[in-house]
């Protein structure tokens, strides 16, 4: 089964578009955990355990682990091992470099870590993306319009009456297909998502920005118009509880998001 089929299967079986973002930060761990690096994997394991019935995907934010160097990289590997076969795994690494270097990044994420998918930055163009797409059984999510305020700086610049992010999407369609590429489009921009959805109704959109970043779920889901998507919440789910009983609140919050999204899916 390729990554694309795996994603659809997990979403169907769990009746959920929810992706839980494992942006694990030792300073925010609930009270049962010591605030040190050894707690990270234990916390991730408990979060996965509390959310696995509601989450069809997990997104590992590489930066949060890389700040601890090689030990952090080990924790990524072990966390992915915990999720594999139970949900879709997104390596949120925003990689991209010249061809021979992107090949090595693709090897890292798709072979060493064995993730189902990765996020990649498009600025360096075709030869920076193609090495990821050569892993045709995986899904590569290309940044289009990101959820942050900085998305206004370059992504919205207009070229021939079209913003840069639409050029990125158009060009990317010449490199891959609905099964091996998808696009990152911030859930914080519903009116843009509506236009993107019209243009690419069948491509999977990875939609971060729900929860701590404050995206409006109703507007998002209407804009997405039932298209294939993965909706990510990170801090809003994993830090839902602060005390002994945190797992209960984390589970409730995952269920809440799953159900909210489903209200708008026909």
Residue positions annotated with a catalytic role: 94
Tell whether residue 81 is a contact of its own copies (CB under 8 A): no
Instruction: State the Cα–Cα distance between residues 4 and 139, nearest whole angstrom.
Output: 7
Indicate the residue among 96 and 176 with the shorter CB distance to its own copies.
Answer: 96
Tell whether residue 154 is a contact of its own copies (CB under 8 A): yes
Instruction: State the Cα–Cα distance between residues 228 and 109, nearest whole angstrom.
Output: 23
Indicate the residue among 175 and 264 with the shorter CB distance to its own copies.
Answer: 175
One symbol per residue from 159 to 188: x for binding its own copies (CB under 8 A), - otherwise; what is it? x----x--xx--x-----------------
Stretch binding its own copies (CB under 8 A), from 47-55, 127-135, 190-198, 256-264? 127-135
Indicate the residue among 51 and 102 with the shorter CB distance to its own copies.
Answer: 102
All residues at 6 or more sequence positions from 239 whose CB lies less than 8 Å from its CB, including other chains: 28, 30
Dihedral pair phi/psi, residue 59, rounded to 5°:
-115, 120
Dihedral pair phi/psi, residue 214, rounded to 5°:
80, 20
One symbol per residue from 198 to 237: x for binding its own copies (CB under 8 A), - otherwise; what is it? ----------------------------------------
CB 120 within 8 A of CB 96: yes
One symbol per residue from 33 to 72: x for binding its own copies (CB under 8 A), - otherwise; what is it? ----------------------------x-xx-xxxxxxx
Q: CA angle, corner 171, sides to 176 and 133, nearest 5?
A: 25
Stretch binding its own copies (CB under 8 A), from 12-20, 35-43, 122-130, 216-224? 122-130
Tell whether residue 77 is a contact of its own copies (CB under 8 A): yes
CA distances from 183 to 25, 139, 144, 209, 220 (A): 26, 10, 6, 14, 15
Beta-bridge partner residues of 118 = 91, 140
Dihedral pair phi/psi, residue 113, rounded to 5°:
-80, -20
Residues that bind its own copies (CB under 8 A): 23, 61, 63-64, 66-74, 77, 92, 94-105, 107-108, 111-113, 121-129, 143, 146-155, 157-159, 164, 167-168, 171
């Amino acid at each position: 089964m390729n990554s694309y089929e795996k994603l659809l299967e997990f979403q169907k079986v769990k009746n959920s578009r929810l992706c839980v973002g494992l942006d694990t930060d030792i300073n925010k761990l609930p009270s049962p955990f010591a605030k040190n690096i050894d707690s990270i994997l234990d916390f991730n394991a408990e979060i996965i355990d509390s959310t696995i019935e509601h989450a069809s995907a997990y997104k590992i934010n590489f930066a949060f682990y890389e700040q601890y160097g090689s030990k952090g990289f080990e924790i990524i590997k072990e966390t992915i091992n915990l999720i594999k076969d139970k949900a879709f795994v997104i390596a949120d690494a925003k990689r991209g470099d010249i061809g021979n270097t992107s090949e090595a990044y693709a090897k890292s994420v798709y072979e060493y870590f064995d993730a189902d998918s990765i996020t990649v930055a498009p600025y360096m163009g075709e030869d920076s993306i193609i090495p990821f797409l050569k892993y045709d059984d995986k899904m590569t999510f290309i940044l289009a319009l990101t959820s942050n305020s900085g998305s206004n700086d370059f992504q919205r610049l207009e070229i021939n009456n079209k913003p840069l992010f639409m050029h990125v999407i158009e060009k990317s369609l010449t490199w891959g297909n609905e099964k091996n590429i998808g696009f990152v489009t911030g859930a914080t921009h519903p009116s843009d998502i509506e236009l993107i959805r019209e243009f690419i109704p069948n491509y999977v959109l990875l939609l971060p920005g729900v929860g701590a970043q404050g995206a409006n779920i109703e507007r998002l889901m209407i804009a997405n118009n039932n298209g294939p998507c993965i909706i990510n919440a990170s801090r809003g789910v994993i830090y839902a509880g602060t005390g002994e009983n945190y797992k209960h609140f984390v589970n409730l919050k995952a269920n809440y998001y799953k159900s909210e999204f489903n209200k708008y899916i026909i």
